[in-house]
Chains A and B, each alone.
Chain A
Amino acid sequence: MSTQTTDKPRFEIKAPRNLSERISWLRDYYFEGVNRKWNNEYISYTTGTDWDFQYNELSFYIVPETYFYIPTFRSSFKQLARPVTLHDDFWKWSLPERRAWFLKEVLLKYHPKEILPGDLLAGARFNVMASHCLNQKEAKAYDKMIYGKKGARAAMLWFHNHGYGNTGATSGHLVPGYARVIEHGWKAIHADIQAHYDALPPAQQKDKKGAQLRAMLTASTLARDLAAEYQALLVSLAHAEQDPMRKTELEQMAHNLSRVPWEPAETFWQAVQSLWLTHMLVIADECYPGPGVSFGRIDQYLNPFWERSLAEGMQREFGKEILKCFWVHCNTAYDAMIQTGGNQGITAGYGQLLTLSGAGKSGADMTNDLTFAMLEVIDEMTPILEPKPNVRLHRGTPDDLLTKVVDMISSSQGAPFLLNFDERSMAGMMLEARKAGVEHLIHAENVHEYAPVGCLENTMVGNDRSGTVDDNLNLLKAVELTLTGGYDLNPVVDALSGKAEKPRRDGENSGDPASFTTWEQFWEAYALQTRYIIRKSVETYERSEEIRAKYFQTPYVSCLVKGCAESGKDINEGGAELGFVTIEGVTFATTVDSLLAVKYLVFDQAICTMNQLVQALRDNWVGHEKLQAIALYKAPKYGRDEDDADAMARQVMALWTEETWKHKTASTGRQFRPGMLSWNYWIAYSDILAASPDGRAKGKFLSNALCPSNGADINGPTANTNSVGKAMGGKSPDGNGDWQEYLSMLPNGGSHTITFNPSILRDPEHKEKFKAYLRGYIENGGSALQINMLNADMLRDAQLHPEDYRHLLVRVTGYNAYFTAIGKELQDEIIARESHQM
């Protein structure tokens, strides 16, 4: 990669280092993006029927930016689809059997297979858009459920347009049981499914359960048969290879594939090969390019192979070389729509998350040499987007790991990983066990095995789908409905016709707020509306959950998730042992600050009447600037470590999380659970949600995840941290929390970002202080922290001279982006965000 400028950039940007010729080539080639001859772009495949389609729009209901394009995507994938010659009995099979067979047929016989120059891992193309394999009757029923007047799409759009948020049954976002494949091979999984099938009474073999298990049997040999295809390719490449070094590598790769992933891995190289092939087929099965399909505690389950291979003579650097190839492979997921979106794919992270270090049984620390080797790989490959690393810290984290973490933060433009905090996270998982009645699956002996997916969403591993991005709810909507007694504050205007909707009471009739004489009355009305918006989100989600359960099975993924074989149910039918849907509460601080402002302005200080406040909001504060200033600057705010304000935060948290636990999906029986990840919705909904009592005008950004509102955290990072910890639940006064003394109302965890000025890491003495800050965060903070390390001057310079800063990475809620590739609006926002000076 070269920049086209002759001027030296004013600031140095982290550059990759210590890369071999092989890795430099692969990495540079990857960054050529659209100019590459080879890529991993979607190829679409069809059964050839008129009614066939590929695009699973349900997975994109949570991405408002794509709503406009849904029909286009569906029709273009259909038009471009290559026909697959079907098995004679194809239409006699059940739907999951058709899907399993179709995917396997496509990957074995149609989808191209290549080995990139120098690559040490096989498995390059996996982005397929496979047919949904519906027959005519199924397709008709499917379309009715989607497009009908009461269909999923209309419900989803209503939910979005009215500012409630977005919700849809989304793919990915789980940790499949990869360790089992590596340690026991696919053959063990195959045998297990066969045993479950054989154990079914004949009548059940003929019905739904039998069909699902037969589909999984087909899927469970996919990786084996694909490995054989790659092995044959490698044998012929080795045969033709002139360079003796490369020839040996190709032969070894062929040998690896003769064993894994069907058989247990014997070496580190085989283990990584097994992992990669198994992983990429998850993406293929869901036809979904990577988001949130996460690796879990990779430094734990790969470590026995790492140690064994090192003992048998593998050079440590060669082990890292294998990992670096793995890194490059993960990034190719983003080629999925590379021609459509230019380099869009390689400007934003998708969240194939891997987890390093963390606590083991009884709080023992699990850091090992592979933890450090992987951190070195990250350090040497950075900047690069995938896989996204998450380092787990806890009270027992060793000093040398923390030193490495802080050194890497100081040499990158912010942490090249997320930090997860075990004690707070495990408290949340233990709460989940109790609330959902799954203490036999999550308990004190195994809770440390949890791992985050996507960005920071904590789940269990290999038996858990927690739908961590499937239901994104703007908590602020309940405040709006309280202020109007159940109406939208401003009517929704149709974008095409310009017509405003007639006022309708969608929410609860919680009373005329002007008649409230006490704050408690307002709170009760707010609680009523909060219950309503949660119920509404659950109902809206159900539309797509039901469709997915009926018409979009993923038998391959189901093989990798415990509970599916046992129950004979697909993961999308609720087959996983642990099935949750996470409501991610969005706009938390804006909601808390709005309630604080109502209390302050109307009830405590009587600065204005309720009607005056509501009028100011209807007018978007125009003509009410003085009241707006009081709301912004004088009303209390969450995030300052002020106990009264933080108590309100905790009260809001308790209300909405308790309400969330009351719901399950009707079609699949999955339990709703609370979390706080905002992705970019705090920006997306700023133009949809009306002005709020905290002084925010419509169009101004909402608050991000658990973070205080922008500019509100005037007491610095420790105060900010303390507030976040308190809002999540703090510590139990009697010392008996859900994990040690810790409490957390968010089993999913919550996203917390703090931006620091790089000067805080300027010398070894300050690095020690920063390490101590992180240890303090373990005690007082939340479940996950993203550290941004930037400097406003540098960012302004990057705005003026984007060509000099092509590789400057910024991180927004666990979402990575190249700064110069994002819109000016967001750039300005990042610059405006308070940059804390220590």
Chain B
Amino acid sequence: MSSENVSTRGTILHLQRLSTEDGPGIRTTVFFKGCTLRCEWCHNPESLSRHRQVQWLANRCIGCASCVAACEVHSLTLTVEGIVRDRGLCVTCGRCVEACPSGAMEMLGKEVSAAELTAELLKDRAYFEKSGGGVTLSGGEPTLQPAFCAALMDALHAEGVHVALDTCGLSAPGVFSELAAKADLILFDLKLMNPDEHKRWTGADNSRILRNLEIARDFVSRSGGAKRLWIRTPLIPGATTAPDNLAGISAYLGASFDGSVERWELCAFNNLCRDKYERLGMRWTFAETELLTAQQLTQMGEWARSGGFDPSRTFVTGAAKAS
């Protein structure tokens, strides 16, 4: 790898160490900033925009108004409800974040080089090695920053670290091919089979996504077991949970992916991101939606297992509503 590559810079949100939900073993998940889809249920709304954003956390604020004084474009006001930002005026310069003593003003998105990030990720190498884990690139959509993503994957591979690519599948086929070829594991999101429904809920139809999934499959089948492919489907009440959608995905996977998809995970809806939307001044379609019950999750698992894909490779994960 050339030194040019490792100096490639990208924008990430944060790292989640000791992650146990993003692939095999103990992993560190890198959340990339910026996504190609706009799923209405998105659990990481801060990852949608490719640009940096500033958020204010009420519970950390000590009310000193240092941020108000620091803002050169006068976009901030201290009110009885806390700090209010005029997003029309804000130029995301970060002066308020610097001025804030208590970490209540937070910059979402930081630029790092592949080399810096690799050094940070290697700190948990011992846990990766003991668990058969590694690093998962997630987001947002990692393939939206292809050069950075590729440089990072190369740098990690040079250190012998297993790399998983967690993708929504929407990217130019050339870009996708290059990055999928580098991944040891592809975590591929497949949300809806019906193209119109897909467009309605995510802003794009699924034709390119399905084509990329086939590319991923071909890499995996040709790798002789060296590469793995997992499919993930979020269980979003009223959006993805219809029996024909789940059985449809199952049928689709069963028809031409049975030998190459190691695992299909159905991930239960959760509402922990509700506050994130509020902080970013965004509206969330699912703000009032309740968690799925254990009974519903079981039912959805049955639909998924009835469509044709290997039931023993089909898993339902995540928390159910407390009974």
Which residues on A are within 8 Å of B, measured CB to CB? 625-627, 629-630, 632-634, 641, 715-719, 722, 759-760, 766, 768-769, 772-773, 775-776, 779-780, 836, 838
CB under 8 Å from chain A, chain B span 102-132: 102-103, 123-124, 126-127, 129-132
Assess whether A769 is in contact with B126, with CB atoms less than 8 Å apart.
Answer: no
Name the A residues within 8 Å of B20 (CB-CB): 760, 766, 769, 838
Query: Is the CB–CB distance between B101 and A719 below 8 Å?
Result: no
A759 contacts across to B, CB distance below 8 A:
319
Task: Output the least CB separation between A725 and chain B (Å).
Answer: 10
How far does the Cβ of A730 sit from chain B's closest Cβ, in whole Å? Answer: 12
CA distance A769 to B131 in the complex (A): 6
Residues of B within 8 A of A838 (CB): 18-20
Interface residues in B1-47 by Cβ distance below 8 A to A read 15-20, 25-26
Contact check, B66 vs A773: say whether CB atoms are below 8 A apart.
no
Question: Which B residue's beta carbon lies closest to that of A641?
Answer: B123
Q: List 24 A-B contacts (CB under 8 A).
A: A625-B64, A626-B66, A629-B64, A629-B101, A629-B102, A630-B102, A633-B101, A716-B17, A718-B26, A718-B123, A719-B17, A759-B319, A766-B20, A772-B130, A772-B131, A773-B130, A775-B130, A776-B124, A776-B129, A779-B126, A780-B127, A836-B18, A838-B18, A838-B20
A731 to chain B, nearest CB (A): 10
Given contacts A716-B17, A716-B18, contact A629 B62 (CB under 8 A): yes
Known: A626-B66, A632-B102, A776-B126. 13 other contacts (CB 8 A): A626-B62, A629-B102, A630-B102, A634-B101, A634-B103, A715-B15, A719-B17, A722-B123, A766-B20, A772-B133, A773-B26, A775-B131, A779-B126
Q: Smallest Cβ distance from B136 to chain A, in angstroms?
A: 14
Q: How far is the CA of A836 from the CA of B60 in the complex (A)?
A: 20
Rounded to whole angstroms, the CA-CA distance of A743 and B102 in the bound complex is 37
Q: Among B60, B102, B103, B131, which residue has its beta carbon within 8 angstroms of that of A773?
A: B131
C-alpha spacing A769/B124, complex, angstroms = 14
CB–CB B64/A772 < 8 A: no
Closest chain B CB from A510 CB (angstroms): 29
Residue from B66, B123, B127, B319 with most neighbouring chain A CB atoms (10 Å): B127
**Residue interface mask B129-144, A partner, CB < 8 A = 1:** 1111100000000000
Contacts of A773 in B (CB 8 A): 18, 26, 127, 130-131
Binding site for A on B (CB under 8 A): 15-20, 25-26, 60, 62, 64, 66, 101-103, 123-124, 126-127, 129-133, 319
Residues of B within 8 A of A769 (CB): 20, 25-26, 131, 133
- The reply to whether B101 and A626 contact each other, CB–CB distance below 8 Å, is yes
* A838 vs B28: C-alpha distance when bound (angstroms): 11
4 nearest CB pairs, A to B: A772-B131, A776-B127, A629-B101, A629-B102
User: Which residues of B have CB within 8 Å of A772?
Assistant: 25-26, 127, 130-133
In the docked arrangement, what's the CA distance between A715 and B133, Å? 18
B131 touches A776 (CB 8 A): yes
B19 to chain A, nearest CB (A): 7
A residues within 8 A CB of B60? Answer: 633
Distance in angstroms between the alpha carbons of A641 and B60 in the assembled complex: 23
Closest to B102 in A: A629
Kindly state the separation between the CA atoms of A154 and B311 in the bound complex, as whole angstroms.
75
Q: Which residues of A contact B101 (CB under 8 A)?
A: 626-627, 629-630, 633-634
Q: Total contacts A to B, CB within 8 angstroms?
A: 75
Residues from chain A with a CB closer than 8 A to the CB of B17 are 715-716, 718-719
CB distance from B103 to the nearest CB of A (A): 4
Instruction: Point out the residues of chain B lying under 8 angstroms from A719, CB to CB.
Output: 17, 123
What is the CA–CA distance of A766 and B103 in the complex, to the nearest angstrom? 33
Contact of B18 among A625, A626, A634, A717 (CB under 8 A): A717
Q: Are A768 and B130 in touch, CB under 8 angstroms?
A: no
Closest residue of chain B to A769, judged by CB?
B20
A779 and B130 in contact (CB under 8 A), knowing A625-B64, A629-B101, A719-B123?
yes
Q: Separation in Å of the A605 CB from the closest CB of chain B?
A: 11
Interfacial chain A residues near B19, Cβ < 8 Å: 838
User: Hey, which chain A residues are within 8 Å of B131, CB to CB?
Assistant: 768-769, 772-773, 775-776
Contact between A633 and B102, CB atoms less than 8 A apart: yes
B64 touches A776 (CB 8 A): no
Taking a contact as CB atoms under 8 Å apart, the answer to whether A633 and B103 are in contact is: yes
- In the complex, which residue of chain A has the Cβ closest to the Cβ of B98? A634
Q: Which of B18, B25, B66 contacts A718 (CB 8 A)?
A: B18
A814 CB to closest chain B CB, in angstroms? 23
Complex Cα gap A719–B102 (Å): 22
CA–CA, A715 and B25, complex, Å: 18
**Chain B contacts for A780, CB-based, 8 A:** 126-127
Give the interface centre of A715, A769, A836 by most chain B CB atoms within 10 Å: A769
Residues of B within 8 A of A775 (CB): 130-131
Give every chain A residue within 8 A of B62 (Cβ-Cβ).
Answer: 625-626, 629
> CA separation between A275 and B25, bound complex, in Å?
44
Would you give the shortest CB distance from B248 to chain A, in whole angstroms? Answer: 27
Q: Give the shortest distance, in Å, between B6 (CB) and chain A (any CB).
A: 19
What are the residues of chain A within 8 A of B123 when measuring CB–CB? 641, 718-719, 722
Among A626, A718, A766, A768, contact of B127 (Cβ-Cβ < 8 Å): A718
Task: Write out the residue numbers on chain A whose beta carbons fall within 8 Å of the beta carbon of B15.
Answer: 715
Q: Which residues of B contact A625 (CB under 8 A)?
A: 62, 64
Whole-angstrom distance between the alpha carbons of A627 and B130 in the complex?
Answer: 43
A755 CB to nearest chain B CB (Å): 13
Q: How far is the CB of B16 from chain A (nearest CB, A)?
A: 8
* B16 (CB) vs chain A CBs: closest residue: A716
A772 CA / B60 CA spacing, docked (Å): 35
Complex Cα gap A780–B26 (Å): 15
Give the complex CA separation of A22 and B20 in angstroms.
Answer: 44
Q: Is B103's CB under 8 angstroms from A776's CB? A: no
CA of A626 to CA of B15, assembled, Å: 28
For A626, A717, A766, A776, the residue with the greatest tally of chain B CB atoms inside 10 Å of its CB is A776
Q: Which residue of A lies closest to B103 (CB)?
A: A633
The residue on A at minimum CB distance from B21 is: A838
Chain B residues closer than 8 Å to A627, beta-carbon distance: 101
The docked-state distance in angstroms from the alpha carbon of A715 to that of B130 is: 20
How far is A495 from B140 in the complex, measured between Cα atoms in Å? 60
A776-B102 in contact given A641-B123, A718-B18, A719-B17 (Cβ < 8 Å)? no
CB neighbours (8 Å) of B129 from chain A are: 776
* Known contacts A629-B102, A766-B20; A718/B130 CB under 8 A: no
Please give, as numbers and ranges, the residues of chain A lying within 8 Å of B126 by CB-CB distance.
Answer: 776, 779-780
Contacts A632-B102, A633-B101, A716-B17 known; A776 to B130 CB distance under 8 Å?
yes
How far does the alpha carbon of A759 sit from the alpha carbon of B15 in the complex, in Å? 20
B56 to chain A, nearest CB (A): 14
Contact A626 B64 (CB under 8 A): yes
Nearest B residue to A634 via CB reads B101
Closest beta carbon of chain A to B133's beta carbon, Å: 7
Docked Cα-Cα span, A717 to B126, in Å, equals 13
- Bound CA span A776–B20, Å: 14
Residues of A within 8 A of B130 (CB): 772-773, 775-776, 779
In the bound complex, what is the Cα–Cα distance between A718 and B16 (angstroms)? 11
Min CB distance B263 to A, Å, is 11
CB closest residue in chain A, given B66: A626
A632 to B60, CA, bound (A): 11
- Residues of B within 8 Å of A629, CB to CB, are 62, 64, 101-102
Given the complex of chains A and B, what is the CA–CA distance between A776 and B125 in angstroms? 9
Closest to B65 in A: A626
A residues less than 8 Å from B102 (CB atoms): 629-630, 632-633
A715 proximity list for chain B (CB < 8 A)? 15, 17
Report the minimum CB–CB distance from B265 to chain A (whole Å).
12
A773 CB to nearest B CB, Å: 6
Q: B101's closest neighbor in chain A, by CB? A: A629
State A768–B126 Cα separation when bound (angstroms): 15
With A769-B131, A772-B25, A776-B130 in contact, do A718 and B64 touch (Cβ < 8 Å)? no
B-side contacts of A634, CB under 8 Å:
101, 103
CB neighbours of A632 from chain B (8 A):
102
Closest-by-CB residue of A relative to B123 is A641
In angstroms, Cα B129 to Cα A773, docked, is 10
